[in-house]
A = this chain, B = another copy of it.
């Protein structure tokens, strides 16, 4: 009866011998419906609107769990704060990050990925993962002095 994400969570928990709890389901629901990159703090604030009794620690723990379950991905950009993104399914992607309004745009580019492999090969290096982030001004913020924050 629940949405797909929550079903996936239930499966994962059952498979790991972990328990299904109100908190875990609530946190996942809020996270998914937010539909954007969220820090643990932002997520906690959203969650508390629905269920004031859920604490920070539980949010942190749950997000780690969701990462293990493949339902969330941890991202840490320049500001040093870990943010989570909901990963419905698709593969790897990289990010454009607006330094003014915080907007995060995702992109994929196989040509770049291929070149990365060739660089690695030249250095006899075996790539396990990579991170590509482009920082700058998004279309909304170019040429503006002020802006409406999108994400903090």
Contact = CB atoms under 8 A, between A and B. Distances in A.
Interface of A: 76, 78, 80, 96, 98-99, 105, 107, 109, 111-112, 115-116, 119-120, 122-139, 142
Contacts of A124: 138-139, 142
A137 to B, nearest CB: 4
Contact of A76 (B80, B125, B132): B80
Q: Specify how many copies of this chain sit in the oligomer.
A: 2
A137 B116 contact: no
B131 A136 contact: no
Max count, chain B CB within 10 A of own CB: residue among A76, A125, A128, A136: A125
A115 B123 contact: no
A133 to B, nearest CB: 5
A71 to B, nearest CB: 21
A112 B113 CA distance: 9
A127 B136 contact: yes
Contacts of A125: 96, 98, 105, 134, 136-139
Nearest to A137: B126
29 contacts: A76-B78, A76-B80, A78-B131, A107-B119, A107-B122, A107-B123, A109-B115, A111-B115, A116-B132, A116-B134, A119-B134, A120-B134, A120-B136, A123-B138, A124-B138, A124-B139, A124-B142, A125-B136, A125-B138, A126-B136, A126-B137, A127-B135, A127-B136, A128-B136, A129-B135, A129-B136, A130-B134, A131-B131, A131-B133
